[in-house]
Structure 1
Amino acid sequence: MSITGEKPRLPSAGELEKQIETFLGYRKDHRTGVQVAFYGGNFLGLKYESILRLLAETTRFVKDGRVDSIRFSTRPDTVDTARLDMVSDFPVKTIELGVQSMDDRVLALAERGHTAKDTCDAFALLHERNYETGAQMMVGLPGDTHCRAIDTGRRIAALKPAFVRIYPTVVLAGSRLARWYETGEYEPLALDDCVTLVKELYLAFSRQNIPVVRMGLQTSEELDRDATVLAGPYHPAFGHLVYSEIFLDRASALLEKSPPGCGSTVTMAVHPHSISRMRGLKNRNIGILKKKFAVARIEILPDPAAGNDQIKIVRS
């Protein structure tokens, strides 16, 4: 399903070839691998002939060396021995499971069509066949709570995914959730609360060396149209908000350990790629830290030797 709840039309052979050729024409960096990805739907839930056609058409690009492998997303309950046998002859490397939640009460309310056991069984089958297996989870679904979301994160981590994506639940015009929202049966998470929750999940996954490769919905023309999103924690830079809150927490902890003098200048060093995260959106973190610790100025310096999540206090 697409983000609007409408069933997407499968591309014809010509359309698929054109899309792949267009990307390959734009691609400049040959140091990283290239995958053709089938997203936005339930790939293994398609008709068998559709699955075979899409994989066969894409495999041609792998055979000529222009694409390295194939990846797709699918629902946990569509992963079984028969379907995996069917795709085993194709160069599929990565399979992402739309886990969403590991709480059966939440899954039932959201009518996701699968259970937590389905997710566990799917992971077992995919690990057995050595697929790179990712998990997609959602926070703020009907019936979800902060504790249930944290527990979902814990249970997903126990399944040892290669990576995780975390998506906030937003209310889209024309969806069943929109009707619940309009009648007061559903209340989406506030943006600040969602950022804090996803931050906790990110840190929990990071402690177990599980990469979180995306936080927040992918910006698209559909989502950027004001009429599409009725309510919920949608922000085009959601992931940046999460990283910024992490850096704010870490900077605060460092300054609490070694309090700066009132009216002083604090100089911090972070990796060049992390400067915007340290500053926060519109320098929000700088303003909060200056007020909290009564300092006159906060300077952020680039330090290529620093880790991506590391902050060094140079002087205060």
Structure 2
Amino acid sequence: MRIGLYTPLAAHFSDIAEVVHVFWPDAQVVPAPQEACELLHLHREADGWAEDCFCMEGERFRWHTRIAGDKWEQKRRRKRGMKQSCYALLRRITGMHPPWGSLTGIRPTRLFYERLSRGDTPAQAEAALARVFDVRPSRAALLRETVETQRGLVTVPEEAVDVYVGIPFCTTRCAYCSFFAEAIGKGRRVAPYLAALFHEAEAVAALIRRAGLRLRALYVGGGTPTALDAGSLAALLARLEALFPDAREWTVEAGRPDTLDEAKLRALRAAPVTRISVNPQTMNDATLRVIGRAHTAEDTRRAFLRARALGFENINMDVIAALPGETEADFARTLARVAALEPDSLTVHTLARKHGSRLNEFGFEPSPAPVAEAMVEAGAEAARALGMRPYYLYRQKYVAGNLENVAYARPGRECLYNIDIMEETTSILACGAGAISKRVFPREARIERAPNVGDVGHYIDRVEEMIARKERLWREYE
């Protein structure tokens, strides 16, 4: 489907296109002249008010927005009014009620917190999201429950900092993945990569001491950290333990069950790791082959039980709803097999068609929206049956059914790092290829970032530059 869009506000073309994709995810939205467009946007401002008018298929909708505050607040209000006007028109034309209404952002919890900061009660904030943004009541209630779970976990001192360590290697690349990662192969680049990574981590530890920061959480992700051989993994963990001994929480993404032999699990157990992930994604072997996972459902079960036997008390499992070809019955079997293992937390992702992924390249279709929604609801029911509560959620572009990703956990088993990165309440010093450091200025509601290069070879060659970027991030904004 091709939709020609005319807007006098060229800077907001992509914002309007985001709203179009809520209703028609595969639509190609292209600029068009006013006299030959399918979707027409008119905008004018006078006396502190903005008027947006959208027209399509003989229908028209007008929206008036009060423009007040400083230039940033004015920009925010202008953008919000424009998007809500477009949404209201397309909702009328299609008759659809998307789960998240007119919201297109990654972090809908921010709006809930915004309402609370204005003095709303949680019940008032929940009702406002449904009334103002047309969020379905079920999603507004999910937001409220998530924010209530975060109470006591999301407030951190300004000097707090998390450390992220990225291992950009995997045994194979999953068909849905677009992250910076490469197949580990024979591991020829592992040693030079770890040497560069250790050097950067040492600089980060020195920066934490020099700036008087307090370490909150350490997260080793990727990629798949356990794609490393047992010796390399043990060396990595030993170095991190020496550099960051004060982490309140330490997570390692041991996501691929086929990488979790007993030697690696013992290396993780010997370190002060407090949380690991064993991620099946699905417990259906046919789907695992389609998405490029080099393990079976039985491999997942054995890896989980092996970890439990060695004493791991906080194990997360990820599943993905709407994988190609899967039915509601397939997903129900996955949830039943996961529930039988009794993990401590469960993250229910919804498949997103990411640019750069093989699923997108070869045109694999996710499950239809009604099926995806039923799967996500089944995931929520399974998590609650295990005594879990939602503790963070986020959304992505091009996600099946315009849905969300939700992490559930038993009380006391929430991942602090996940909350911190999603709510952007804590600064992060990130090491490794493709990692992004960010410094949070809570009193100014501002975030500054320092990204590392994504290519492994470039990272190894330019690690001094990556260190300098982080040094500037703390020095230039003092």
Taking structure 2 as the reference length, the TM-score comes to: 0.41
Partner of 2:181: 7
Within-5 A mapping of 1:227-306: 231-233=398-400, 238=404
Amino acid corresponding to residue 7 of structure 1 in structure 2: A
**Does the CA contact (< 8 Å) of 2:251 and 2:276 recur in 1?**
yes
- Separation in 1 of the partners of 2:320 and 2:393? 10
Amino acid corresponding to residue 400 of structure 2 in structure 1: P
**Does the CA contact (< 8 Å) of 1:20 and 1:36 recur in 2?**
no
Deviates more, 1:100-109 or 1:77-86: 77-86
**Does the CA contact (< 8 Å) of 2:201 and 2:243 recur in 1?**
no
Amino acid corresponding to residue 44 of structure 1 in structure 2: T
**Does the CA contact (< 8 Å) of 1:164 and 1:214 recur in 2?**
no
Kindly indicate whether residue 311 of structure 2 is the aligned counterpart of residue 133 of structure 1: no
Kindly indicate whether residue 267 of structure 2 is the aligned counterpart of residue 86 of structure 1: yes
Unaligned runs of 5+ in 1: 220-228, 244-316
Partner of 1:67: 247
- Separation in 2 of the partners of 1:166 and 1:21? 37
Question: How many equivalent residue pairs?
Answer: 220
Q: Give the C-alpha shift of residue 120 in structure 1.
A: 0.7
Query: In the TM superposition, what whole-angstrom CA distance separates every residue of 1:209-262 from its partner, at most 9, and x where no partner exists?
Result: 134545556x6xxxxxxxxx6x43386x8258x99xxxxxxxxxxxxxxxxxxx
Partner of 1:253: none
Change over 3 Å in CA distance of 1:158–1:215 after alignment to 2: farther
- Separation in 2 of the partners of 1:194 and 1:215? 17
- Separation in 1 of the partners of 2:258 and 2:227? 9
- Separation in 2 of the partners of 1:158 and 1:214? 23
Kindly indicate whether residue 160 of structure 2 is the aligned counterpart of residue 160 of structure 1: no
Partner of 1:200: 378
- Separation in 2 of the partners of 1:239 and 1:176? 21
Change over 3 Å in CA distance of 1:201–1:137 after alignment to 2: same
Identical-residue share of aligned pairs (%): 23
**Does the CA contact (< 8 Å) of 1:190 and 1:232 recur in 2?**
no
Q: Give the C-alpha shift of residue 80 in structure 1.
A: 1.7
Q: Give the C-alpha shift of residue 59 in structure 1.
A: 0.6
Query: In the TM superposition, what whole-angstrom CA distance separates every residue of 1:177-234 from its partner, at most 9, and x where no partner exists?
Result: 12221xxxx21245565344212211222022134545556x6xxxxxxxxx6x4338
**Does the CA contact (< 8 Å) of 1:123 and 1:159 recur in 2?**
yes
- Separation in 2 of the partners of 1:238 and 1:129? 33
Which of 144, 153, 164 is matched with 2:326 structurally? 144
Q: Give the C-alpha shift of residue 50 in structure 1.
A: 3.5
**Does the CA contact (< 8 Å) of 2:217 and 2:249 recur in 1?**
yes
- With a CA cutoff of 8 Å and minimum separation of 6, indicate the structure with the bigger relative contact order: 2
Partner of 2:400: helix, strand, or coil?
Answer: coil
Partner of 2:233: helix, strand, or coil?
Answer: helix
Q: Give the C-alpha shift of residue 127 in structure 1.
A: 0.9
Taking structure 1 as the reference length, the TM-score comes to: 0.59
Kindly indicate whether residue 209 of structure 2 is the aligned counterpart of residue 46 of structure 1: no
Partner of 1:76: 257
Unaligned runs of 5+ in 2: 1-169, 183-192, 409-478
Larger radius of gyration: 2
Within-5 A mapping of 1:25-36: 34-36=216-218
- Separation in 1 of the partners of 2:324 and 2:208? 37
Q: Which segments of structure 1 move beyond 4 Å, counting only runs of 4 or more?
A: 8-11, 17-28, 190-193, 211-217
Amino acid corresponding to residue 404 of structure 2 in structure 1: F
Partner of 1:174: helix, strand, or coil?
Answer: coil
